[in-house]
A and B are shown apart, each in its own frame.
Chain A
C-alpha cells in the first residue's frame, strides 16, 4: 500500500459539499497514482471537479471519503494544523495570479515558508537568494512585486514554492495571466524542473500548455475519463 515510488496515491476519493439540506456531490470516486518525478497535467471543463481535486491534493481540504497518501503519509484524516505542516513541508503552490505579498521584496516573499518553518533569519536569506538564482532572478532580490513583470513575478512564486524542497509542485493555471512568449518561458522552467526530478501537477484548461506535461489526466463530472501519456493518441 505504501509504494515508495509514489508521490501521490488517491483511492476512491469522494467529495460532497453540503449547503444547507442540499448535498452536492463533486467528486464521485477518483483513483489516481502519480509516480515520483512525473509531470502531470489535469484538464477538464469548469464544473468537472478539477479545482476540488486540486484543493484536496493541495491539502487545503479533506475528502468526504477515500484515501489520500502523499509522500508516504496518509493525509485524508489530518486536522487543520497537521495539514498546514504538510503543506509547508511537502507541497509547493503556484497560482494563476502569482499571489506574492505586496510591499514585500522578492527575497522576503521567497523566504516566507522558511519563516513559518522556523528557519533562522540568516539561513532564510541565504536559501532565498539561492532559490531566486535558480529561477534566473538572482539580481532582482530586492525588487517589490510591483516592480517586476508578470513572468518575473511567477518565477518568484515558483522559487517560493520550491524553497522547502516539496514532494510535489502544484500549479493552478500557472500561465493563465501571462502572454504566450512569457508562458513559453515558464513552461521551459517547468521542463527544467521536471528534468531535475521534480514531481509537478499542473491544472490547466489550455490544451497547448497541457502538452508540455508528460501525462494528461482528464476529468468530467467528478470522474477521471482519460489518463494518457503525451505523444500517444488520446
Chain B
C-alpha cells in the first residue's frame, strides 16, 4: 500500500508538527479510555466496599427532628408485630450499638457490641467457627462472633479462639466464630459492630427501656426491598395511628446507587471533556492537513500531470489523515489504559481487594472508532481540496 508508505514518510518528515497536531487527540482519547477502565474497576470496588453488608436487609430510622419523635420511635414489641403484619418480612431485629471495654486475659480493647440475627447483617464468611444461629437467638445465648479487628486485638497470637471466653464489662461470652477480614480498608458501610451477639441477648443485657434506635428488617428477595420498606412504614404509622410520622430507610442498593450516580456524573463530565478535546483536536488536524495540501500544491500538480486521477489524490491525503488520527488514537489508547490501570492499582484494587479485568476489546473498538470518525469528519475536506486542484495552477504554484 504505497499511500500508507507515503503517508508515514511525509508524517515522519515533519515529526514535531505531526506530534503537536495529535496532542489534543491523544488527551481526548486517553481521557475517554481511562474512564472506561475506571468504570470497570469501580463496579468491583463498590461491591467490595459493601461486601460485608447483606443485600436483603434494610434499616428504618425514625426521623429525630419531627415533633412526634417519641411516637415514631420503634419499640421492642413492634418487631414481632411488624413481622406479623408485613408478609414480605422474614425477620425484624433491633439496631443498636454499645461501646464496651472487652477483655480476653490481659488483652483488651474498647469495641462496639451490636445485636445480630440468625440472618446475619454482616455476611462476611466465617474464618473460624460459625455465625450467630437461630438457636442462639431463641435461647438468648451468651455467645459472641468477633470481627477481624476485635480478633487480632484480643488474640494477638492468632489461632482458633472458638470455645474461649471474653468479657464485656461484667458479662461473659463464649466465642463461637470469627469473621474473615473485610476487603475494604476505608469505608465500613455496615451497621454492625466489632462484636456481634444474639439480638435477644443484647436486649436482655444492654437495652434500657423499650425504645430502639432503629430497626433492621430482612426480606427473602432484595428486589422486594422498596415494597417491603413502604409496607413496613405504612404498618408502623397505622400501628401508631399517626399517618404523618417520618422515617428514613437505608439499604445496600441505595448506597451503591449513590456511588453509581456520582460515578455516572464523573463519567459524563469526562466524556464531555473528551468530546470537546476531540472536536478541538479534529479542527487542529484539519488545519494542519490544509497547510500540508497548500505546501504540496506543486507536488499535487506533478502527480496530476503524470496521470493521477482525482480519486487517487483524494485517497493519498485521506490515508495521511487516517494515519495521523490512527497514531493519535493509538497513543491515546495506550496512555488511557496505562492511567486507568495505575489508578485501579493504587486506588480501586486496595478498596475492593479485587483486580478488575482491563477492557481490552471494548477500548480498542472505541479508539478505532474515534480514529475513523475524526478522519472522516476532519480529513475529508482537505483531501477533497487536494483532489480538486487544477493541475495547471498547481504546477505554476511557487
A residues whose Cβ falls under 8 Å from a Cβ of B: 55, 58, 60-61, 80-81, 84-89, 91, 93, 95, 99, 101-104, 112-113, 115-117, 121, 160, 164
Contacts A60-B391, A95-B302, A116-B312 aside, 20 further interface pairs with beta carbons under 8 A come to A55-B392, A60-B304, A80-B310, A84-B307, A84-B308, A84-B309, A85-B307, A85-B309, A86-B307, A88-B306, A89-B307, A93-B306, A95-B395, A99-B298, A99-B302, A102-B299, A103-B10, A103-B13, A104-B6, A116-B303
Known: A99-B298, A101-B299, A103-B9. A84 touches B304 (CB 8 A): yes
Closest 8 CB pairs of A and B: A88-B307, A87-B307, A99-B302, A84-B309, A116-B308, A113-B306, A93-B305, A60-B391
Bound form: Cα–Cα A147–B69 in Å: 94
Verify A116–B306 contact, CB threshold 8 A: yes
In the complex, the chain A residue whose C-beta lies closest to that of B302 is A99
Do A112 and B305 touch across chains, with their CB atoms under 8 A apart?
no
User: Chain B's nearest CB lies how many Å from the CB of A123?
Assistant: 13
Contact among B13, B299, B306 for A87, CB-based, below 8 A: B306
Kindly list chain A residues whose C-beta atoms are within 8 Å of the C-beta of B392. Answer: 55, 60-61
Query: A112 touching B9 by the CB < 8 A rule?
Result: no
The majority secondary structure among interface residues of chain B is: helix
Cα A102 to Cα B2 in complex, Å, equals 15
Closest to A82 in B: B309
For this complex, 19 residue pairs linking A to B, each with C-beta atoms less than 8 Å apart, are A55-B392, A60-B304, A60-B305, A84-B304, A84-B307, A84-B309, A85-B307, A86-B307, A88-B308, A99-B301, A99-B302, A99-B395, A102-B299, A103-B9, A113-B306, A116-B306, A116-B312, A117-B307, A164-B307
Residue ID in chain B nearest A113 by CB atoms? B306
A94 to B250, CA, bound (A): 85
* A160 touches which of B6, B304, B306 (Cβ 8 Å): B306
* Cβ–Cβ contact A112 & B306, under 8 A: yes
Q: Residue on A with the closest CB to B1? A: A121
CB distance from A103 to the nearest CB of B (A): 6
Chain A contacts of B299 at CB under 8 A? Answer: 101-102
Provide the bound-state CA to CA distance between A160 and B308, in Å: 14
With a CB–CB cut-off of 8 A, which chain B residues contact A116? 303, 306-309, 312
- Size of B's binding interface in residues, CB under 8 A: 21
Decide if A115 touches B2 in the complex (CB within 8 Å): yes
- Chain A residues lying within 8 Å of B6, measured Cβ to Cβ, are 104
Residue of A nearest to B398 (CB): A97
CB distance from B178 to the nearest CB of A (A): 73
How far, in whole Å, are A121 and B2 apart by their CA atoms in the complex? 9
Chain A residues, CB < 8 A from B305 = 58, 60, 87, 93, 99
**Cβ of B306 and Cβ of A81 under 8 Å apart?**
no
**Beta-carbon nearest neighbor of A157 in chain B:** B302
Query: Which A residues are in CB contact (< 8 Å) with B307?
Result: 84-89, 91, 113, 116-117, 164
Cα separation A95 to B299 with both chains bound (whole Å): 13
- State A88–B310 Cα separation when bound (angstroms): 13
Chain B residues closer than 8 Å to A99, beta-carbon distance: 298, 301-302, 305, 395
Cα(A115)–Cα(B307), bound, Å = 10
Segment 291-321 of B: residues with Cβ below 8 Å from A: 298-299, 301-310, 312
Residues of B within 8 A of A58 (CB): 305
Interface bits B383-398 vs A (CB < 8 Å: 1, else 0): 0000000011001000
Q: How far is the CA of A85 from the CA of B308 in the complex (A)?
A: 8
Closest residue of B by beta carbon distance from A115:
B2
When distances are taken between beta carbons in the complex, the residues of chain B under 8 Å from A81 are 309-310
How far apart are A140's CB and chain B's nearest CB, in angstroms? 19
A104 to B296, CA, bound (A): 14
A183 to chain B, nearest CB (A): 22
Residues of B close to A89: CB separation below 8 A:
307
Residues of B within 8 A of A80 (CB): 310
Instruction: Report B-chain residues with C-beta under 8 Å of the C-beta of A121.
Output: 2
CA distance A173 to B300 in the complex (A): 20
Closest B residue, CB atoms, query A86: B307
Given known pairs A95-B395, A99-B298, the reply for A112 and B303 (CB within 8 Å) is: yes
